[in-house]
Amino acid sequence: MKKLLLIFVHSILWRKIFTFFVGLRFYNTEILKHRKQYILIANHNSHLDSMAIMSAIPFKNIHRVHPIAAENFFSKNAIKKFMMVHFVNAVLIPTRRAKNEGESDPIEMMGKLLRHGESIILYPEGTRGEPGVMQDFKKGLALLIQMYPDIDVIPIYIEGLHQTMPKGASLILPYNCKMYVGNPITFDSYKIEDILGVAKSSILDAKNQSSLR
């Protein structure tokens, strides 16, 4: 039932909204059709980013893809939390790693999803930043890649979507925006700083790797 709900919400409803009303163009999304599991990493400037990415996921996998979102932000409002969990398929995690026994560890929470064959959408900057300016990446991404080096890491660059729903806005506006899916990343080194550097440059390079489909 949840798979059908997600297909309707994202693959049909949101896809039509993004394509015909917003004007979002999708590039190179066929990369996602040939893989069952992945870690998707993207720049983050809009609350619409997760819906845009989910609308590009193939029907067969959409119920197994989970945007990672900040629990402290989305748990403040019960309706917002319900929508994120059930209609976006998000997993809400604490923004800091657990220090005390019994607290949830975000790395372990994401790792558990990956061990069960699920895929995740991760924003390595950790929060919505200034459009066009990539912030430093959090090291949690590198820790996950160290722990699960065989899972494809696929970069996505989102351009202009922040103009569709700027910070503080409640209406969705048309804008000529684009989403580029890059090729899976090859890591020559698994040192934390090297992983983060390659991941960051790969998101920026996704635009150049992609072609309109």
Look-up: residue for tokens 């049909």?
12
CA distance 152 to 62: 16
| For residues 167-191, average pLDDT | 87
pLDDT for the residue numbered 77:
82
pLDDT tens digits, 54-102: 999 999 999 999 999 988 878 778 888 899 999 999 999 987 644 445 5
3-state secondary structure of 165: coil
Say what the pTM is.
0.91
Q: Are 85 and 69 in contact (CB under 8 A)?
A: no
CA distance 38 to 199: 14
Write out the residue range of the structural domain in which residue 176 sits.
Answer: 2-209
pLDDT for the residue numbered 78:
87
User: What is the count of structural domains for the chain?
Assistant: 1
pLDDT for the residue numbered 116:
96
CATH of the domain at 113: 3.40.1130.10
pLDDT confidence of 169, banded at 50, 70, 90?
low
